[in-house]
Amino acid sequence: MNKSRLELIRGTLDVLILKSLIWGPLHGYAITSLIRRQSDEALLVEEGTLYPALWRLENKGLVESEWGLSDNNRKAKYYSLTGEGRRHLRAETRIWQAYAEAVAKILGATEPPALETI
């Protein structure tokens, strides 16, 4: 398996977590595997960064947590998006897409931009 490990750009993890919760409540482990699968194994979230990020988000009120039962009938802490989190995700997604588009434009360019007419 060829794992191209990509370093997460700072601030990206929060959006990814929020996005992964949009399908419904998940526990921490499920979040990592969702991100991994969704990115075709390209992104691997480390536990040492995931949990602090999750707790921070909860502290900010973007996600909330609840103890529940996992598929294998074990007590697990499930996180879900709050209304606030949903709004935050929408805004962040827009910014990200604009940013990615701009970066892609520059990196994919084949010729220099036309001269500005003053």
Partner 1 sequence: MKRVPMWRRYDHLHGPDTRADVRAELRFHLDCKTEELIAKGWSAAAARQEAESQFGNIRALERAGERIGEQMERRRRISEYAAEWLQDTRYTLRTLRNNPAFAGVAILVLALGVGLNAAVFSVVNTMLLRPLPFPKSQELVWFTAGKSLDAKTRVAGGLSGETYTVDVYREFQRNNRSFQSVTAFQTFYNSLQYKLTGVSEPKQLDAVEVAGNFFPTLGVVPVLGRNFTEEETLKGGRPAAILSYYFWKTEFAADPHVIGKTVSINTSPAAVNGPVTIVGVLPASFDFGAVFAPGKKVDLFVPAVMDFWKTWGNTLAVVGRLKPGVSVLRAQDEADRLFPQMKLQHKDWYYDYASDLSGLKNHVAGKLRRSLVVLWCAVGLILLIVCVNLSNLQLSRAATRSKEFAMRRALGAGRGRLIRQLLTESLILAFVGSAAGLAIGFGISYYLAHQTFIALPLLTTIHLDGASVFWTLLTAIALGILFGLAPALRISGTSIQEAIKDNAAGMASGRSHERFRSILVISEVSLACLLLVGAGLLLRSFLRVLDVDLGFNPAHAAAMQIDLPPAANKDQLIQRTQTLKAEIDRVAALPGVESVGIADMLPLDRNREWGLAAVGHYHAKDADTGALAYLVTPGYLQAMGMRLLEGRDFAWNDTPDHQPVIIINQSAARREWPGEDPVGKLAYATGNTPDRVIGVIADVRESALEQKSSPEIYVPMTQNSDVEGATLVVRSRIDSGALGVSMLTALRGLDPSQPATTLRPLQSLVDHSVSPRRFFVLLVTIFAALGILLAALGIYGVISYSVTQKTQEIGVRMALGATRGRVQRAVLAQTLRLAIAGLAAGTLASLGAARLIASLLFATSPWDPVAYAAMVGFLLAIALASGYFPAWRASRIQPMTALRSN
Would you tell me which residues interact with partner 1 (CB under 8 A)? 27-29, 46-48, 51-52, 55-56, 58-59, 61, 70, 72, 74-77
Query: In angstroms, what is the minimal distance from the CB of 72 to partner 1?
Result: 8
How is residue 23 written in tokens?
Answer: 């399908």
Q: How far is the CB of 71 from partner 1 (least distance, A)?
A: 10
Sign of CA dihedral 42, 46, 51, 56: negative
**Shortest reach from residue 55's CB to partner 1, in Å:** 4
3-class SS of residue 99: helix
